């Protein structure tokens, strides 16, 4: 399953988005190991969610639906040749994590998979919670999966989605584009 999803991601995601997805995975593993070692979340399930979490941001997908990219990405993950062949519980957990990975509310509950992908994506995109991952790990992950101007690329995606869909879920994150562009933790790797 992981090999099939890797192949799917390599053919459907632009290189910068693919690299971001793998940075999220490795930063998430570091966060889980150091902060939440008791979580029973499998590395494979987290890997699949990471590879697919931004599938809705491709140009074709942004323009193909009126849904916010996170929601469309969750639905895409359950269809076709992605995680639909996984056990139902695993597939639905991944889809929900994709849908909720930018649902940064301070109330309510979320699964450990959803929480970990939120923390790792915020860490990579905005530099939030800089103490969660050791500097050596940050450097090694960024060398292995280069950013190639990821912050500007993602900021452009935010602009594009909001231009196409002024109601997009991304609009609930106040100042999100500025937070992405002012990611001081990752600036030296851009």
Q: For 2-189, CATH number?
A: 1.10.3210
d(Cα 126, Cα 70) in Å, to the nearest integer? 18
d(Cα 70, Cα 55) in Å, to the nearest integer? 8
pLDDT tens for each residue of 141-158 = 999 999 999 999 999 999
User: Are 19 and 146 within 8 A, CB to CB?
Assistant: yes
Question: Structure pTM?
Answer: 0.95
d(Cα 138, Cα 188) in Å, to the nearest integer? 11
Tell me the pLDDT band of 128, cut-offs 50, 70 and 90: very high
> What is the model's pLDDT at position 80?
65
Q: Is the pLDDT of residue 64 over 80?
A: yes
User: Are 170 and 161 within 8 A, CB to CB?
Assistant: yes
CB environment 25-41: b (16+ within 10 A), e (fewer):
bbbbbbbbeeeeeeeeb
Domain boundaries in the chain? 2-189
Q: Which residue has the tokens 């992605």?
A: 82
pLDDT tens for each residue of 48-63 = 999 999 999 999 999 9
């Amino acid at each position: 399953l992981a090999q099939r999803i890797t192949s799917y991601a390599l053919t459907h995601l632009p290189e910068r988005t693919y690299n971001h997805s793998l940075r999220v995975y490795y930063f998430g593993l570091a966060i889980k190991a150091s902060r939440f070692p008791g979580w029973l979340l499998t590395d494979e399930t987290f890997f699949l969610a990471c590879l697919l979490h931004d599938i809705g941001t491709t140009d074709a997908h942004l323009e193909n639906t009126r849904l916010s990219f996170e929601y469309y990405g969750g639905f895409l993950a359950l269809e076709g040749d992605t995680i639909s062949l996984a056990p139902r519980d695993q597939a639905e957990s991944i889809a929900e994590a994709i849908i909720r990975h930018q649902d940064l509310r301070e109330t309510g509950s979320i699964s450990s998979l959803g929480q970990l992908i939120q923390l790792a994506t915020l860490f990579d995109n905005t530099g939030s919670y800089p103490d969660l991952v050791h500097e050596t790990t940050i450097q090694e992950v960024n060398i292995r999966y280069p950013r190639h101007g990821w912050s500007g690329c993602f900021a452009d995606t935010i602009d594009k989605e909001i231009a196409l869909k002024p109601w997009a879920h991304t609009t609930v994150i106040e100042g999100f584009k500025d937070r992405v562009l002012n990611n001081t933790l990752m600036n030296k790797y851009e």
